[in-house]
Amino acid sequence: MFESAELGHRVDKETFAAEAPKLRELLLDAQFELAQSRRFPVVLLVGGVDGAGKSETINLLNSWMDSRFIESHGLEKPTDDERARPHMWRWWRLLPPKGRIGIFNGSWYSYPILKRAHRETKDAQLDQSLGRIQRFERMLLDEGALVIKFWMHLSKAAQRKRLKKLEADPITRWRVTDKDWDHFEMYDRFRKICERSLQATSTADAPWTIVEATDFRYQALTVGNHLNDALRRRLDGPLNPVPIQAPPLPPRLDSVNVFQTLDLTQRIEKPEYELELERLQGRLNLLTRHKSFKKRSVVLAFEGSDAAGKGGTIRRVTGALDSRIYRVISIAAPTDEEKAQPYLWRFWRHLPGAGRFAIFDRTWYGRVLVERVEKFCSETDWMRAFGEINDFEEQIYRNGTILCKFWLTVSPEEQLRRFEARRDTAYKRFKITDEDWRNRDKWDTYQLAVCDMVDRTSPSHAPWTLVESEDKNFGRIKVLKTLVEKMEAEL
C-alpha cells in the first residue's frame, strides 16, 4: 500500500516559494474561524518511519499557524503514573477541546506496532489493539471531532540515505540514535506490521493519508493542503454532522423488570448493623494494607434513585479508608470545560493510580439516564453510549482496576417520605431541590431507562449490584459486604 509513496515526488523551490505563503494564509483563516466558532476539535496524528520528518512537519505547522490554538504532543514510553492506569488514559488527558487542534507525534498506534515489531505480541493481540483504537476513534468522530491521520513514508533505501546524511553532518548528528538504526534493521518487519495496521484502521471518516517523505517541500505542501481542505469542508458544511440512526429498542410486552424481583422489606436492626458495620469496615481497611493492593486500584460507581442514600453509604465506605488514598468525585452538570470534550473525558481524567480509590457519586451513566430521559442528548447519542461505556469499563478491568457498580433503589412511597423529611428539616433542606420533585413525576420513565442500563452494561467482569435501600442500614451493609468480598477475591 506504500507504492505511490515511493515514486520520488518532488516540489521545486520556485513552486514552494509561490505556494507556501498562500497556503499559510488559508490555514490561518481556517484556524481562526475554528477557534472563534468552537464547533469541533481537530485531532491530527502524524506517524511514520524513523527519519521521515515527523517532528519537522509538526514544527512547520506550528510556525505556519497560530501556536496559541495548537497543542502538540510527542509521548515516549509511559511513565510510572501512566502505567498505573489504563493505556488510553494518557491520550484522553491530552485530547484538544472544541476550537483547538491537537497534534500527536506518533499516537495511540505507536505502542501496539512497536510491541508487535519486537515480537512481544502476536498478530491476534495487535488486531485486538487495533479494534480498540477503531472504537476509540469512532467515539471521537461521533462526538464531533475531525480526525486527520498522516503517515510519513520512506522506502528502505531512502531511509538508509536519510539516516546516513543526518549522521554525517555534525549539526544534525544528534537527530540519529541507536534506536533509529535498530529499527532500520527491522524495516521489513515494521513495514509489514504497519501495512496491516493502516489497512485495518483507514476508515471512511478517518482515513490514513500516506505522504512520501523524500522531499520536504512536497511533504509540507501535501500535509498543509490536506489539512486546509479537511478544515474547510467541515467549517463550510452543516453545523452538525448527519446523525447516525440508532436501531430502536425491542418493545416490551409486559411490565415485568429486574426491580420487581427485589425484596425492599429487608431490614437490619441497629445493634446488628453497628456490629456488622464495624466488622466490614475493619476488613476493608486491612485490605488496603494488603501487599497486592499497592499494584491495584479501586473504582466505585454509585447511582440510584433520588434520596436512596448514596451519600450516606459513601461515607460508610470512606470511614474505613485512610483519607490519603481515596477521592470522592461528585458529578453534577458538566462545566464549560467539560462540554468542550467527549462526555467520557471528565471521568477518564479522575481514574486513580495504583493503591488508590476513586468513588463516583453519580457517574458516566448519566448519558443513558438523565440525559436520555430529559432529552439533553439525541437517541443516537445515548444508544451508542452503551457500547462506549462497556469499552471504557473493559479498559478499566484489563488494567487490573477493581470496579464495583451499585444501584441503590427505594420504593416511590419511601422516596416521598424522605423528600418530605428533607423539606421539613432545616439542616437537610439543601438536599432537596425542585429538580428532585420533577424527577418524581418521571419515575416510570427513569425506571425504564435504568432497566435498559442494567441489561446492556452488566457484563461478568463489571456487573451491577442492585441494592435494596428501603432500609438504609441494610443497603449500607450490602454495599460494604459486596466491596469487601470483591476485593478479597481479587487480592
Over residues 271-297, the pLDDT tens digits come to 999 999 999 999 999 999 999 999 999
Report d(CA 280, CA 293) in Å as an integer: 17
Asked if the model's pLDDT at residue 242 lies above 70, the reply is no
Tell me the pLDDT band of 250, cut-offs 50, 70 and 90: confident
Give the H/E segment covering residue 101: strand 101-105
CATH homologous superfamily of 266-490 equals P-loop containing nucleotide triphosphate hydrolases (3.40.50.300)
> Which cell is 218 given?
512536497
Report the mean per-residue pLDDT for the chain.
Answer: 93
Q: Which residues pair with 330 in a beta bridge?
A: 361
Beta strands of 154-243 (E only): which ranges?
Answer: 208-212
In this structure, what C-alpha cell is assigned to residue 358? Answer: 476513586
Mean pLDDT of 55-75: 93
CATH of 3-236, one of 3.20.20.80, 3.40.50.300, 3.40.718.10, 3.40.50.720: 3.40.50.300
- C-beta neighbour count of 94 within 10 angstroms: 13
Q: Which residues pair with 47 in a beta bridge?
A: 151
Cα 482–486–487 angle (5° rounding)? 120
Largest CA distance in the chain: 89
Is residue 420 very low, low, confident or very high in pLDDT (cuts 50, 70, 90)? Answer: confident
CA distance 408 to 329: 17
Percent pLDDT > 70 in the chain is 98
Q: Residue 426 above 70 pLDDT?
A: yes
Query: Which of these, 219, 363, 256, lies nearest to 302 by C-alpha position?
Result: 363
Of 135-144, 288-297, 358-367, 419-428, least confident by mean pLDDT is: 419-428
Average confidence (pLDDT) over 333-346: 95
Q: Distance of alpha carbon 316 from its chain centroid, rounded?
A: 30
Q: What percent of the chain has pLDDT over 90?
A: 77
Cβ neighbours, 10 Å, residue 473: 21
Q: Flag whether pLDDT at 244 surpasses 70.
A: no
- pLDDT reading at 300 higher than 80: yes
Q: Which of 24, 106, 97 is nearest to 66 (CA)?
A: 24
**How far is it, in rounded angstroms, from Cα 104 to Cα 140?**
15
Tell me the three cell numbers of residue 371: 440525559
Q: Are 392 and 347 in contact (CB under 8 A)?
A: yes
Give yes or no for a contact between 214 and 154, defined as CB atoms under 8 angstroms apart.
yes
Give the single-character DSSP code of 406.
Answer: E
Nearest Cα neighbor of 472 from 425, 405, 408 is 408
Per-residue pLDDT, 218: 96
User: Which whole number is the average pLDDT over 230-238?
Assistant: 93
Q: Which residues contact 104 (CB under 8 A, 6 or more apart)?
A: 43, 44, 45, 46, 72, 73, 74, 75, 91, 94
How many CB atoms sit inside 10 A of residue 385's CB?
Answer: 26
Residue 254 has pLDDT above 80, yes or no: no
For 123, the enclosing helix (H) or strand (E) is helix 123-142
Query: How far is the C-alpha of 474 from the C-alpha of 468, rounded, in Å?
Result: 7
Q: At what angle do helices 187-201 and 110-117 cross, to 10 degrees?
A: 140
CB count within 10 Å of CB 182 equals 11
Degrees, nearest 5: CA angle 359-363-365: 145
What is the pLDDT at residue 251?
73
pLDDT digits (tens, 9 = 90+) for 97-145: 999 999 999 889 999 999 999 999 999 999 999 999 999 999 999 999 9
Would you say 351 and 399 are in contact if contact means Cβ atoms under 8 Å apart?
no
Q: How far apart are CA 289 and CA 370, in angstroms?
A: 38
Tell me 366's DSSP state.
G
Question: Alpha-carbon distance 480 to 294, whole Å?
Answer: 20
Kindly report the number of other CB atoms within 10 A of residue 421's CB atom: 13
Instruction: Kindly report, as residue ranges, where domains of CATH 3.40.50.300 are found in the chain.
Output: 3-236, 266-490
Q: Which amino acid is at 119?
A: R
Bridge partners (DSSP) listed for residue 360: 301, 329
Which phi and psi angles does 103 have, rounded to 5°?
-110, 130
Residue with the bigger pLDDT between 425 and 409: it is 409
Residue 418 C-alpha cell reads as: 424522605
Query: What is residue 243's predicted lDDT score, i.e. its pLDDT?
Result: 61
Angle between helices 123-142 and 110-117 (to 10 degrees): 170
pLDDT tens for each residue of 25-53: 999 999 999 999 999 999 999 999 988 99
- For residue 288, give the C-alpha cell: 488496603
Is 211 in contact with 46 (CB distance < 8 Å)?
Answer: no
Q: Would the CA dihedral through 412, 415, 421, 423 be positive or negative?
A: negative
pLDDT above 70 (res 241): no
Task: Give the confidence band of 246 by pLDDT, cuts at 50, 70, 90.
Answer: low
C-alpha to C-alpha distance for 400 and 298, rounded to whole angstroms: 9
Supply 22's cell numbers: 498562500
Amino acid at 144: G
Residue whose C-alpha cell is 423529611:
421
